[in-house]
Amino acid sequence: MSDAFCKISGYEANELIGVSHNVIRHPDMPKEVFKNMWETLKLGKTWFGEVKNRKKNGGYYWVFTKAEPDINIDGKQIGYYAVRQDITAQKEVEELKKNLEQQVRDRVSEIVSLDKEIQDTQREVVFTMGSIAESRSKETGNHVKRVAEYSKLLAIHYGLPEDEAEMLKQASPMHDIGKVAIPDAILNKPGRFDKLEREIMNTHSQLGYDMLKYSDRPLLKMASIVAYEHHEKWDGTGYPNSLKGKDIHIYGRITAIADVFDALGSDRVYKKAWELDRILNLFKEERGKQFDPQLIDIFFENIDEFLEIRDNFIDE
């Protein structure tokens, strides 16, 4: 019995040797999970899963478990062994995110229940919520302003009606609203994410959609699409649903270009702003890969208008 296992469970080694694993089984864990684990091991396969265990003092801890059959030199299965990683903090963060998501959803529900006479206030709140999401990641309010203007400009040149393009301008500031539920330690990490951190960060698209999808208001319905699909890629390698080509809503395709153009040209905690030539070269390389090729062509055909917007909303 390892010292690490004793430390996390609160038991001494002599209290665990020869004792059934049930002593640390938490009542919240479904029996089906363990049934699946044992069936997998009996087949000689490796089992992976998240397990909530009970401490000696009645508390709990979570572990990511990799369990494998123990095979002797004759190829006979004589037992099993497991490697466990403590993920208690991660699971507690997930619970906090759920609670925060519910709070934001409750707040959005209050907003969308307002009468028609205060729709202008609703638009202002939408923009403010988008700004809050950006400010948590140490980005300026001008980021959402520029993304809004870029989105409308692309929409107009693409051929969307003026009123629809204007609504996209109002909705696009909500593209990263899901970031309100991402922990600060990840959101503002100055270096590269590890695999787990990247997975958590990528959940912001789904979280944003879940916060907004319940509304029947056209503005928030559009915002939910933008939040959900602005990280999908033309070639199908994006997230959260690996949508491809025109299966990605035009609102998501437009906002993706607006967001990336501004993000690359701005200082962030993890990078310095790129030079314009470097950004434009990337856009040429990603035409038909990350980005809708038609929209990229529109972008380059009207690059002076985009640069004018950028120059009109310079960060302090």
pLDDT of res. 118:
46
Residues of the chain with CATH 1.10.3210.10: 90-312
The residue that leads in pLDDT, 191 or 198, is 198
Average pLDDT on 307-314 reads 88
Q: Residue 281 — very low, low, confident or very high, per pLDDT cuts 50/70/90? A: very high
The tens digit of pLDDT for each residue in 17-40 reads 877 777 888 888 888 988 888 888
Average pLDDT on 219-238 reads 94
The residue that leads in pLDDT, 217 or 281, is 281
pTM of the model: 0.60
- The yes-or-no answer on residue 179 being catalytic is yes
Instruction: Name which of 93-107, 164-178, 255-269 the model is least confident about.
Output: 93-107
The tens digit of pLDDT for each residue in 265-276 reads 887 766 788 999
The pLDDT of residue 125 is above 70: no
Percent of the chain surpassing pLDDT 70: 88
pLDDT of res. 127:
58
Q: What is the CATH number of domain 3-86?
A: 3.30.450.20
Instruction: Name which of 219-223, 239-243, 248-252, 291-295 the model is least confident about.
Output: 219-223
The pLDDT of residue 137 is above 50: no
The tens digit of pLDDT for each residue in 177-189 reads 888 888 888 888 8
pLDDT of res. 192:
85
Q: Residue 119 — very low, low, confident or very high, per pLDDT cuts 50/70/90? A: low
pLDDT of res. 138:
46
Q: Residue 83 — very low, low, confident or very high, per pLDDT cuts 50/70/90? A: confident
Percent of the chain surpassing pLDDT 90: 37
Is 263:138 a contact under the CB 8 Å cutoff?
Answer: no
Residues of the chain with CATH 3.30.450.20: 3-86
Residue at 254: amino acid letter: I
**CATH architecture for segment(s) 90-312:** Orthogonal Bundle (1.10)
Q: Residue 278 — very low, low, confident or very high, per pLDDT cuts 50/70/90? A: very high
The pLDDT of residue 74 is above 80: no
Instruction: Find the catalytic residue in 7, 179, 221, 271.
Output: 179
Average pLDDT, the chain: 85
The pLDDT of residue 120 is above 90: no
Question: What is the layout of strands, in order, in the sheet containing 47-54?
Answer: 47-54, 60-71, 77-86
